[in-house]
């Protein structure tokens, strides 16, 4: 059994492990894929003090840092069930492999995933023009033409943000109106280099075999197919928290399925903490996940010495 066990080995889980281990408590990390979303990223240019790195390199550095300490890393372990203990008792997590682990405190850091369009070309051109994070990849498209898919708050915010960097933005929304807040829509419509296409269903990401060179959509009213020439596509149709495994547990989730945490990273169950993209904390970024993971580990340590 552990004093503290992290579920998830992305930036949040790794940071939590380092902070916990430095307190000299029995620390473990169980992750389906150590490294997390970082493994799917190419250029990372906003991890403060590291002007430029690449996803796989950062994932290796995370592991190296955790291994500086006495931490049990259990990779390729997918959690399927959380069984919270009564106050003062240990919590238990069951894994797909059949293993069960017990710990006095937990840090849930199972992250999130971008919702994909699921159209031909999307997977093929991922990181070759298809992007999901405007804060991360926007500057790679300086002066170029891009589309943003999705007219919710995140899509419209992304389009406003990108319009200041790229040459031209086409926003494509499936419905006949955007769902974003009115102030955001007004701001978007005021920008000279933005075109908004409503009632449009993206059907294909086009490319030359190496990079994206266009996008095909269906005009829903007429059923006609149209093509937009561009260099980049930002998909902004939602971020899905990896909390399916918690749905049967009593832990409080938000409407979007994110784990609700307080200022110390504690969930609705005492002794169970959460950090990173899986929580209600806004702005899903590496540096934020690392900070939140560190905070949750300190919260868990504080909880341990008080109980």
Which residues in this chain contact ligand FAD in the complex, by CB under 6 A?
7-13, 30-34, 36-38, 40-41, 44, 46, 77-79, 109-112, 114, 132-133, 136, 242, 245, 276-278, 284-287, 289
Provide the annotated active-site residues. 133, 136-137
Is the Cβ of residue 156 or residue 278 nearer to ligand FAD in the bound state?
Answer: 278
Is the Cβ of residue 9 or residue 121 nearer to ligand FAD in the bound state?
Answer: 9
Q: Shortest distance, CB of residue 207 to ligand FAD, whole angstroms?
A: 17
- 179 is annotated as contributing to ligand binding: no
- 272 is annotated as contributing to ligand binding: yes
Strand partners, 116: none
Q: What are phi and psi of 101, to 5 degrees?
A: -120, 145
What DSSP string runs through 30-66? EESSTTGGGGG--EE--BTTBS-EEHHHHHHHHHHHH
Is the Cβ of residue 138 or residue 271 nearer to ligand FAD in the bound state?
Answer: 138
- 201 is annotated as contributing to ligand binding: no
The token pair at 47 is 């991890």
Mark 252-274 as b/e (b = at least 16 C-beta within 10 Å): ebeeeebbebeeebbbebebbbb
Q: Shortest distance, CB of residue 6 to ligand FAD, whole angstroms?
A: 9
Q: Shortest distance, CB of residue 10 to ligand FAD, whole angstroms?
A: 2
Q: Shortest distance, CB of residue 133 to ligand FAD, whole angstroms?
A: 4
Q: Shortest distance, CB of residue 274 to ligand FAD, whole angstroms?
A: 9
* Separation between Cα atoms, residue 141 and residue 235, nearest integer Å: 14
- 176 is annotated as contributing to ligand binding: no
Is the Cβ of residue 17 or residue 160 nearer to ligand FAD in the bound state?
Answer: 17
Is the Cβ of residue 131 or residue 188 nearer to ligand FAD in the bound state?
Answer: 131
The token pair at 109 is 């850091």
- 97 is annotated as contributing to ligand binding: no
Q: Assign residue 276 a region (left: φ > 0; alpha: ψ between -120 and 50; beta: otherwise).
A: left
* Residue 204 · residue 227 · CB < 8 Å: no
Measuring CA to CA, which residue among 249, 239, 240 is closest to residue 80?
249
- Give me the torsion for CA of 33, 38, 42, 46, rounded to 10°: -170
- 273 is annotated as contributing to ligand binding: yes
Which residues are part of a known binding site for NAD(+)? 145-159
| Residues flagged as binding site | 3-18, 145-159, 267-277
Per the annotation, where are the binding residues for FAD?
3-18, 267-277
């Amino acid at each position: 059994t552990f004093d503290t066990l992290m579920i998830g080995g992305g930036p949040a889980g790794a940071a939590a492990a380092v902070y916990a281990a430095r307190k000299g408590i029995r620390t473990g990390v169980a992750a389906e894929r150590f490294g997390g979303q970082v493994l799917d990223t190419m250029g990372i240019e906003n991890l403060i003090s590291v002007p430029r790195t690449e996803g796989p390199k950062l994932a290796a550095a995370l592991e190296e840092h955790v291994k500086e300490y006495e931490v049990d890393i259990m990779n390729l372990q997918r959690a399927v069930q959380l069984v919270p203990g009564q106050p003062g008792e240990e919590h238990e997590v069951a894994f797909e492999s059949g293993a069960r682990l017990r710990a006095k405190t937990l840090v849930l850091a199972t992250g999130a995933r971008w919702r994909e369009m699921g159209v031909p070309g999307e997977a093929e051109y991922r990181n070759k023009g298809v992007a999901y994070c405007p804060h991360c990849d926007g500057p790679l498209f300086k002066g170029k033409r891009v589309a943003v898919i999705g007219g919710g708050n995140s899509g419209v915010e992304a389009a406003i943000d990108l319009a200041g960097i790229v040459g031209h933005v086409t926003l494509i929304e499936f419905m006949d109106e955007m769902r974003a807040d009115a102030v955001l829509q007004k701001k978007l419509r005021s920008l000279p280099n933005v075109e908004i296409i409503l009632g449009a269903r993206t059907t294909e990401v086009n490319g030359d075999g190496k990079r994206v060179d266009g996008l095909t959509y269906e005009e829903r009213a007429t059923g006609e197919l149209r093509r937009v020439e561009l260099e980049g596509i930002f998909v902004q149709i939602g971020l899905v928290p990896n909390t399916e495994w918690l749905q049967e547990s009593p832990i409080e989730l938000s409407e979007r399925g994110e784990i609700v945490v307080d200022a110390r990273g504690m969930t609705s169950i005492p002794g169970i903490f959460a950090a990173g993209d899986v929580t209600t904390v806004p702005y899903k970024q590496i540096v934020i996940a690392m900070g939140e993971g560190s905070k949750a580990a300190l919260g868990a340590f504080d909880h341990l010495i008080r109980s």
